[in-house]
Structure 1
């Protein structure tokens, strides 16, 4: 099948850079396969109406990036972009060799490094100067909010650009949402085991964080109703799709039942759906079920690339003035440069392609954990960035964490995620993406499983 070259009208000055970038993206996203033969310089020039010199410069750039190579007498072929490369952004083990399975981060490989480097080169050569010189509008440039609307629609969230604010990731969005929806002294409801950032922010903002009991599907509607009636809550924070320490996807019927309770008690819902792009066909988000009272948070950090700290906040229009005021007070605006990269990747399909790749890579890590933790009390999901291991009787969490460190493995202590610090939980969260190397991850998983099964 002939290789599909970019249409001439999509190329911008400088033409060689734009052509090289388009071919690179086609290679990295699989539209041009490894080992495939490229047309000759003359054929490309004739098809696109370019000079041979321009095409040669584009091919030279791709060759310098080790994406294509010439074979004498045969032509130019796409090479394996991963051959002989170390993982980019490699989380190099500290000098003591500690493997970090405590922080929840996505996996990455050389394509992430190349895509980001190319995106930065593209910004330098092609981006509007406002990306570098302006920090307004405070809620994000129009093109960036339009891209946010497109990305959110891909995630199942209906959001017109005027309801979108660009953020520096989900943690930034959560700070904006909590400060806009509450006042010091207000009650905020959350899962009994929740995200540690929620615990920290409620403490910083002087909010009373009250846990709500749940089961394997999430918060129980009757427990939520009781908490609303007894505590006089102002807001509830939900983690419905893989974002909580215990990775689960809340079924749609549970979401609808909770939505009815929340409507009756007139609560603002803060939906942290940072991990939702990793889920395959997830249920409708709360933002789709009750858009008039939900602040929805999304980010690229968990599903696309660890360092792309850009996200989107969707809020009812009535909360827009409060969100704007908090944005100005907390950060003035999100970083336009990263927002521009995110917008470009949304528009050309790179963001969704990387999220799909991440989902497949995580499934392999989940299979490793399923084998290692057979017979253990653990919760995982093929699309999750972490798993939750409940320790057998006799183990205290602090002791297990200390013993794991003696094996050069760091895990996240379960008590860090408690909405009520007086509760007790002997469990740990284990990151599936914290170690880039597959054999090292398998070894760490087996060591943790052996440790958990040791009699105490």
Structure 2
């Protein structure tokens, strides 16, 4: 954070906030304040100039109106970089050298942007076919795109049929399509007791009841699933059998067969979220391979390439295909053909497989760093995953630990995010290893977490 030298004159006819804004303008013009330089907080500058915080707020607002500075949510106020394109994103917290963001469960950066540029260059040079990307297409997507994607998924062990495939804007979108097309208000959805938090908002929007099934190191417990099916008569079971979020579990082949058999026994359809399924080297067969007419299989390219592409897919049982196709049409008419075209070019050029291999390699390096650093604390981890699941020592309260980490510039995800409404919150955190921009930044964050976890906890209380 930059210290700013300013002088405020009460004899000046200009309002104090305008004096401050004018001096900011002069210092930016003279190069004393550089683009992307962080300004003092409102309180710090108010104390320095002996004015109110409200005056500084007005001054920064005036400076922002002039295009001199920009407020970044949760990060502060920065000098505007006028060389940056208007379409560019602000720097995220994990790009700041003093912070480490373990919050987002995403793949590490291993050259995805270069591959995307190359693919876009190829697509833009196809003058005859490029107009297809700009036109309306059928809701299910261009047939040649579905064929290329289905063949690639088949080569990675998934029994996918192009004629049953629907292209979506990610797995979250696919789940929403299922809920909108195939559930009614008040229906019950079973899921793991700790599960993907995006499910909560979707269920709340549709007024569905979520009920948790007990889990162990292999995923949902068959006896608990059987009892829940009897008691709740659910419409669906949603689960993530490979690299479960957040617990990292990988359901073994025998358990998968048991789960499918129980769901068929009670006429409960399975929503298989396979978003992490392509990450391990040799994962068990997906549930869709066991029974494609009982499993709605969802996946995306968010974890095996990049989340910003927002290209996913769903293969439902044949009898549900038309209803889900209509749901997709109602939501967005279609996935952008330009996005599915990019994925197809990445597949055909072998770039997607190259990036997936690079992600796996980098993930091995990062996970080994994390396991070496946090080994005494015995975090849960499975090969190929981007995240750890770490139970806190008894000396830490969950909320205290999250706050202490944030105070040191480190973001982790609390178990509260993954706990069903009214469920008991486990004192644990998810640590996502792909989010930090570099291994050096990753190590800084791991060291901070380890020091916190091994430190004496400062307990405070109020009456």
Superposition TM-score tier, normalisation by shorter sequence: 0.7 to 0.9
Secondary structure of the structure 1 residue equivalent to 2:278: helix
Match of 1:280 in 2: 281
Answer whether contact 1:103 1:434 (CA < 8 A) is retained: yes
Work out whether residues 133 and 341 of structure 2, in 8 Å CA contact, stay in contact via their aligned partners in 1: no
Aligned to 1:247: 248
Aligned to 1:121: 121
Cα distance change on mapping 1:257 and 1:188 into 2, 3 Å: same
Partner of 2:170: 169
- For residue 62 of structure 1, what is the aligned residue in structure 2? none
User: Any unmatched runs of 5+ in structure 1?
Assistant: 1-87
SS at 1:375 equivalent: helix
Is 1:352 aligned to 2:353, yes or no? yes
| Residue 397 of structure 1 pairs with residue 392 of structure 2 | no
Aligned length: 368
Equivalence for 2:134: 133
| Distance (whole Å) between structure 1 residues aligned to residue 124 and residue 216 of structure 2 | 50
The alpha-carbon distance between structure 1 residues 303 and 89, as it changes in their structure 2 partners (threshold 3 A), is farther
Measured at CA, do residues 91 and 382 of structure 1 come closer, stay the same or move farther in structure 2, by a change above 3 Å?
farther
- Local SS of the residue matching 1:179: helix
CA distances 1:146-175 after superposition (whole Å, capped 9, x unpaired): 122112213322121111001111111121
Q: Which residue of 2 aligns with 1:327?
A: 328
Following superposition of structure 1 onto structure 2, how do residues 249-328 of structure 1 map, counting pairs within 5 Å? 249-328=250-329
Post-superposition Cα deviations, 1:194-221, rounded to whole Å, max 9, x if no partner, equal: 0011122111111100000011000011
CA gap 1:94/1:371 in 2 versus in 1, 3 angstroms: closer
User: Contact 1:243 / 1:272 at 8 angstroms: preserved in 2?
Assistant: no
Cα distance in 1, alignment partners of residues 152 and 422 from structure 2: 36
Output aligned runs, 1:194-209, within 5 Å. Answer: 194-209=195-210
Matched, 1:150 2:148: no
Match of 1:17 in 2: none
**Matched-pair contact (CA < 8 Å) for 1:210–1:420:** no
1:403-448 CA-to-partner distances (Å, cap 9, x unmatched) read 0011101111111001243312111111111112111101111211
CA shift in 2, pair 1:301/1:439, >3 Å: same
Q: Distance in 2 between matches of 1:307 and 1:89?
A: 15
CA contact (8 A) 1:106 1:385 kept: yes
- SS of the residue corresponding to residue 313 of structure 2 reads strand
Aligned to 1:451: 452
- The runs of 5 or more residues in structure 2 that have no matched partner are 1-88, 458-463
Rounded to whole Å, the distance in 2 between the matches of 1:438 and 1:148 is 32
Q: How does 1:89-100 map to 2 (within 5 A)?
A: 91=92, 93=94, 97-100=98-101
| More displaced stretch, 281-290 vs 445-454 | 445-454
Partner of 1:76: none
Q: Separation in 2 of the partners of 1:170 and 1:398?
A: 30
> Normalization by structure 1: what TM-score?
0.77
- SS of 1:166 mapped into structure 2: strand
Determine the structure 2 residue equivalent to 1:422: 423
Find the counterpart in structure 1 of residue 386 from structure 2. 385
Q: Which structure's CA Rg is the greater one?
A: 2
Matches within 5 A, 1:73-84: none
1:220 corresponds in structure 2 to: 221
Quote the Cα distance in structure 2 between the aligned partners of 1:89 and 1:156.
39
Pair 407,92 (structure 1): closer, same or farther in 2 beyond 3 Å = closer
What secondary structure is seen at the aligned counterpart in 2 of 1:271?
strand
* 3-state DSSP of counterpart to 1:373: helix
1:36-74 superposed Cα distances (whole Å, 9 cap, x missing partner): xxxxxxxxxxxxxxxxxxxxxxxxxxxxxxxxxxxxxxx
SS of the equivalent of 1:381 reads coil
Query: Could you tell me how far apart the structure 1 residues matched to 2:146 and 2:320 are?
Result: 17
